[in-house]
A and B are shown apart, each in its own frame.
Chain A
Amino acid sequence: MSATRMMLAGFGGQGILFAGKLLAYAGMLANKNVSWLPSYGPEMRGGTANCAVIVSDEEIGSPLVPAPDVLLALNLPSFEKFEPAVEAGGLIVFDSSLIPQTSQRTDVTVCAVNATSMASDEGLNGLANMIMIGKFLRASGLFDLDTVFRALEKCVPPSKAALLEKNKQAISLGYNA
C-alpha cells in the first residue's frame, strides 16, 4: 500500500494549515486520494497548530497521523512532540532558524533548512512555510514543482493573487537550498 502520512506543525500564524492544504491539493491534482485534518480549537489562536495530510493510492481509512512518514516542523515544541513519533525510514524537515537543535535519530532522513531567516533575507516574510515545502519536495520527490505550482493556483484565493508569485519564489528557494 503506497501512502505518505505527513504531519506539519508549528505556531498558529506560520501558515501550517495552508502548507498542508497545498500538499493535499497537489495530491488531488496527481490523482491520489488525500485527506487533511487540522488541529482545531484554542490552539488556533496563537498556540501550536498542526495538520495531518495523507496522500495515498488506496482509499484513506483513519485521517489521523499518529506516526508520520514525514514531519515538517516549524517550531521547537512541535519538533520535540513529533520527532520521536516519525516512522523509521521517514523524513524530518525542520526550520533551523527556529529550532536550535537537531534530531539524534539515525533511522530517518533529517533536513535542516534556515527557512525563517531565508524568508526574511529574501523579502519573503511570512513564507518560511513555502520554503519548507520546497525543501521537502526536493528531499522526498513526492510531487514535481509544476504540480505544486498548479495546486498553489487552486489554494490562493483571487483576492490574494498578487501573492502567488512570491509563494512560487519561496518554494523554488527552498527547493534549491
Chain B
Amino acid sequence: MSEKVLMKGNEALAEAAIRCGCTHFFGYPITPQTELSEYMAKQMPKRGGLYLQAESEIAAINMVLGAASAGVRVMTSSSSPGISLKCEGISYLIGSDLPCVIVNMQRGGPGLGGIQPAQSDYFQATRALGHGDGHAIVLAPATVQEVVNTTTLAFDLADIYRTPVMILGDGALGQMMEPIDFAEVPRRQCPAKDWACTGTGMKRPHNIVNSLYIQPEDLERLVEERFERYAKIEAEEALWEEQNTEDTELVLVAYGITARIAKSAMNMAREKGLKVGLVRPITLWPFPKKPLDKLSATAKRFLCVELSMGQMVEDVRLVVNGRAPVDFFGRTGGMLMTPAELLAQIEERMGK
C-alpha cells in the first residue's frame, strides 16, 4: 500500500491531472480555486509541462482550444464568474469535438457574487456551457479522494468521447484537506488521437479542427452524429452512489459537498428510526436517471438538497415524473446548511 498524503482538493486535483498526463495548463486566478493554478505554476515547469497564466479567462480557454487541437492533455480551472467568461470558448471546443478538462470550483453568484461555496452553476454546467446544441460531461466529486479519481476519469472520458469534461466542485471541496492515495486511481483505455493537428510530415492529408459549417445540411449531420455519441454517454457513463435505498420512505438527492451534509443528516434520521436514504449523482451530465426511476415506484417522497435556489431538483422531477412529491431545500449565497438544519427539514416532511 502506498502512503497516504493530506492535500487540499485544489492541489490534489492539480496533482492528479499531472499524474494522468496533463501537460498543459492555462489559467487565471480566482478565489476559491487559486491553489490549483498555484500548484500548476510550481509543478508544471519541473515536470516537463507548461503552465501559463493568461491575460484573462477568455484567453485561457482559447489557449485550451489550441493545445487540445494539437492533441495534448490540457486543462483550465476557474470559479463561477470566470466560467461564464469561458463559455464562448467551451462552445467552440464542443463544436470542434475537442477533449479538455475544465474545472469550476463554484462560489456564490450571480455577478461577482461572493467567494464562499455554492452549487448555483448547475444549470450552466448541465444545460448551457455555451451556445448551440451541445453538452459537456459534468463530474461532481464529494471527497478529496474522489476529486483525484474523477480528475483522471475526466481526462479519459474527454479523450474517449472527444468532448470537454467539466469537474464541478465548490469552494469547500477545493479548500478542504483529506487523506488521499494516488495509487488507487483506476484508468480507462483511450484511443489514439489520429485527428490531432500535429503536422503531416508530408505523409498524410491535413487534419482540420473547426467549428464553422456554413452548409446547414453539413451542420445538422454533424450535430446529429454528436448526439449519437451523447446517447452512448448517457447509456454507459452515468455514475452515482446510493445509501440506505432498500427500505427508503424519503430519498435525499444531493451531490458534491451537500451530499456529505445529507449523509450526516441521513445518519441522524436513521438513529431516530426514520427510513431515509440518499442518491448522490457523481455525473451530473449524464444525469443518473436509473436509481431515481427505480425508487419512484417505492419511495414516498424525494427531497433534493442543494446550495442553490433549486436547480438539480428539476432533473429529479423530470425522472420522478409525478410518481411521488419532489421537495427542495437549499441554502445559497455561500451559506451551507448544517446536518441538524437538514434533519429538521426531513422530520417536517415525514410528519414527525
Residues of A that sit less than 8 Å from B by CB: 1, 21, 24-25, 28, 33-38, 40-41, 59-64, 66, 154
Contact = CB atoms under 8 A, between A and B. Distances in A.
Contacts of B178: 34-36, 60
A28 B179 contact: yes
Given A24-B177, A34-B179, 9 more contacts: A36-B176, A36-B177, A40-B31, A40-B171, A62-B261, A62-B264, A63-B260, A64-B336, A64-B338
A36 B338 contact: no
B164 interface: no
A6 to B, nearest CB: 14
The CB with the most chain B CB atoms within 10 A, among A38, A62, A66, is that of A62
A24 B264 CA distance: 20
B177 A40 contact: no
Contacts of B286: none
Given A28-B4, A35-B178, A36-B6, A60 B260 contact: yes
A21 B338 contact: no
Contacts of A35: 176-178
A57 B262 CA distance: 19
A32 to B, nearest CB: 9
B141 interface: no
20 contacts: A21-B6, A24-B177, A28-B4, A36-B176, A36-B177, A37-B176, A37-B177, A38-B175, A38-B176, A40-B115, A41-B115, A60-B178, A61-B263, A61-B265, A62-B260, A62-B261, A62-B263, A63-B257, A63-B260, A64-B172
B53 interface: no
A63 B256 CA distance: 12
A24 B32 CA distance: 21
Contacts of B263: 59, 61-62
Interface residues of B, number: 25
B7 to A, nearest CB: 10
Interface string B254-296: 0001001111110100000000000000000000000000000
B116 interface: yes
Pick the 8 closest A-B CB pairs, nearest first.
Answer: A61-B264, A36-B177, A61-B263, A62-B261, A37-B176, A62-B264, A61-B260, A28-B179
A59 to B, nearest CB: 8
A40 B339 contact: no
Given A36-B6, A40-B115, A63-B260, A21 B31 contact: no
A1 B336 CA distance: 23
A62 B175 CA distance: 14
B115 A37 contact: no
A21 B177 contact: yes
Contacts of B116: 41
Nearest to B259: A61
B346 to A, nearest CB: 14
A59 B115 CA distance: 27
A41 B172 CA distance: 12
Nearest to A37: B176
B341 to A, nearest CB: 9
Contacts of A33: 179
A156 to B, nearest CB: 13
B311 to A, nearest CB: 21
A36 B178 CA distance: 7
Contacts of A64: 172, 261, 336, 338
Contacts of A62: 260-261, 263-264, 336, 338-339
Contacts of B6: 21, 24-25, 28, 34, 36, 154
A123 to B, nearest CB: 30
Contacts of A63: 172, 176, 257, 260
A155 to B, nearest CB: 9
Contacts of A28: 4, 6, 179
Nearest to B263: A61
The CB with the most chain B CB atoms within 10 A, among A1, A37, A40, is that of A40
Nearest to B264: A61
B77 to A, nearest CB: 16
A38 B8 CA distance: 10
A128 to B, nearest CB: 23
A125 to B, nearest CB: 27
Interface string B310-352: 0000000000000000000000000010111000000000000
A41 B31 contact: yes
Contacts of A24: 6, 177
Contacts of B339: 61-62
A61 B261 contact: yes
B10 to A, nearest CB: 10
A25 to B, nearest CB: 6
